[in-house]
Amino acid sequence: MAEEQETAEREALFGFLPVLAHERVYGTWDYIALQICYGIAAWAFLVGSFTGYVLPAKEAVPAIFIGEALPLGMMSFYAILFARYGVDQFLLPRAALGYHGNTLLLLIWIPINWGWIAYASFLFGEAVIKLLPAIGAPVPEFFTTEVGYASGATFWAIIAFILGFIPAYLGPLAVRWLTRIAAPGMTIVLLGLIYYVIAEYGLSNLFQLPAVAPYEDPLLNRAFAVEWNAGLGFAWAFYYGQWSRIAKSETAAFHGPYWGWGPIMCVAVIFASFTMLITGDLDPTAWMIQVGGPSWGVLGLILMAVANITSNTLLIYTQAIPVKYTWPKVSWFTAVATAIPAVVLFNLKVFENYNVFLTLVGCLWTVYPAILLADFYVIRRGKFDLKELYYKGPKYMYWRGFNVVAMLMFPIGYLFYFSLVDPWNATTEGAILPFFRYTTGLIPTFVLIFFLYTVIMKALIKEQ
């Protein structure tokens, strides 16, 4: 009997079952540490670099805060619901999207998550190939090469993946210890780096540096900077429930993502924008030695390496949980192993097109939280029938398992978004709607979908 109980509790932590109060393992500080490890990684440094590319420091800082604030301020609320019911990110959305609609979205999201794993792993690779010469390590030349699959960067990226894979497989308690150690260390190194940069270059000098390659139109620079930061902010939309379900209180579920992905991650983004302004190099690993010198530079590269391993762990675990929820009979190892195809993306070309990835998929994860927030709060008012959701009962079946209204929001969102901006080329030339430079693209898309979904669903419910 005791063994059965233990099996059930482990199954709750590792998979399919609702997690009860006594089984929750993440307190507020654990959760903040976890989200710091999530936030301070490849994406924060890359978005910061792009921000510094188009904006000087005094404009970059508010752009970063504004860009991150709106998505997080809105979405942190739905973390509470996953904690309240103790269930995964991909269970409650069945109520909004329909059972098959939700599975379809999971199948689209998994390759996107591979993209995030690729960025974290490859930045680790980039950090190591620069760290080795910096410390004078006697290694064959291959281990410091960058281009192509047969390169040192790809090799080290695979190592980062393996190192991230192991704690993810061991589960949330192993992850908790990893993040308890890594988060304070990463925060201290990051603050030290910022202090070093300010002391070395002077705050007033930093604030006088021009943007590296801005657009001619100053409004466009601000709009793109907010856009990329908002893209990162909205990107978290898929990553709440997997962790909120094991939070010991709703407060913990709320604070973790807010601090980790909010102000603390913003520090990393701001640091990256400053260093971009100093060096003019888009590759975050390249500027560490340039800006930090041999001592702080090496520490900075170690920070990037560690940060991306912990992020990998979190991304892999985050993917495994919804896989177990959707296909509960698969083994835990199989669920975790669904992250392995990400290895195909460990390449310099993928790495260099980060801003395209961010804005393109950014639209998808802007529509997703807009639908969920409207549905969870305005339509369903925070109430769910878990039995129906688990057993796929008629209440949330909609049309053959798809909520057509929710599904339609995705093409509508994309059409609207592409009528505002061309994210492939980061330009508004040829845009049908001329107000991107005032509003950005993702924020009005979010607002449009939120209200459109609410109005249509309310009208349909009234009619029924």
Partner 1 sequence: MTTSKTMADGGGEEFEKLLYSELAKRLGVVEEEIRKNKSLVDIIHPRDFYILVGSMMFFTLWFSLATGLTVFYALGAIIIVLLAIWTMYAWKVIVKEA
The interface with partner 1 within residues 213-252 (CB under 8 A) comprises: 219, 222, 226, 247-251
> Please, where are the H alpha helices in 40-171?
42-54, 57-85, 94-97, 99-134, 152-170
Q: Does 191 bind partner 1 (CB under 8 A)?
A: no
- Chain residues 370-409 in contact with partner 1, contact rule CB under 8 A: 377, 381-383, 386-387, 390
Task: Please say whether the beta carbons of 38 and 232 come within 8 A.
Answer: no
Q: For partner 1, which stretch binds (CB under 8 A), given 78-86, 139-147, 155-163, 192-200?
A: 78-86
Binding-site member from 43, 53, 85, 396 for partner 1 (CB under 8 A): 85
Q: For partner 1, which stretch binds (CB under 8 A), given 36-44, 94-102, 164-172, 184-192?
A: 164-172
Q: Does 16 bind partner 1 (CB under 8 A)?
A: yes
Binding-site member from 66, 350, 412, 433 for partner 1 (CB under 8 A): 66
CB of 9 to partner 1, least distance (A): 6
Amino acid, res. 117: I
Residue among 233, 240, 250, 236 nearest 88 (CA)? 240
Q: Does 94 bind partner 1 (CB under 8 A)?
A: no
Backbone φ and ψ for 382, nearest 5 degrees, come out as 75, 10
- Distance, in Å, from the CA atom of 185 to the CA atom of 270, rounded to the nearest integer, reads 19
CB of 196 to partner 1, least distance (A): 22
- Chain residues 131-150 in contact with partner 1, contact rule CB under 8 A: none
Amino acid, res. 161: F
Q: Does 152 bind partner 1 (CB under 8 A)?
A: no
Complex with partner 1: residue 119 or 258, whichever CB lies closer: 258
- 383 contacts: CB under 8 Å, gap ≥ 6: none
Q: Which helix (H) or strand (E) holds 296?
A: helix 284-326
Complex with partner 1: residue 94 or 130, whichever CB lies closer: 94
Helix axis angle for 263-279 and 42-54, nearest 10°, is 50
- Distance, in Å, from the CA atom of 224 to the CA atom of 51, rounded to the nearest integer, reads 8
- 453 contacts: CB under 8 Å, gap ≥ 6: 370, 371, 374, 375, 405, 406, 409
Q: For partner 1, which stretch binds (CB under 8 A), given 46-54, 291-299, 302-310, 321-329?
A: 321-329
Q: Does 8 bind partner 1 (CB under 8 A)?
A: yes
Q: Does 206 bind partner 1 (CB under 8 A)?
A: no
CB of 410 to partner 1, least distance (A): 23
Q: Does 180 bind partner 1 (CB under 8 A)?
A: no
Q: How far is CA 255 from CA 77, 262, 405, in A?
A: 10, 10, 32
Q: Does 324 bind partner 1 (CB under 8 A)?
A: yes
Q: Vertex 50, ends 48 and 53: CA angle to 5°? A: 110
Binding-site member from 36, 37, 44, 74 for partner 1 (CB under 8 A): 74
Q: Does 77 bind partner 1 (CB under 8 A)?
A: yes
- Chain residues 23-52 in contact with partner 1, contact rule CB under 8 A: 24
- Chain residues 267-296 in contact with partner 1, contact rule CB under 8 A: none
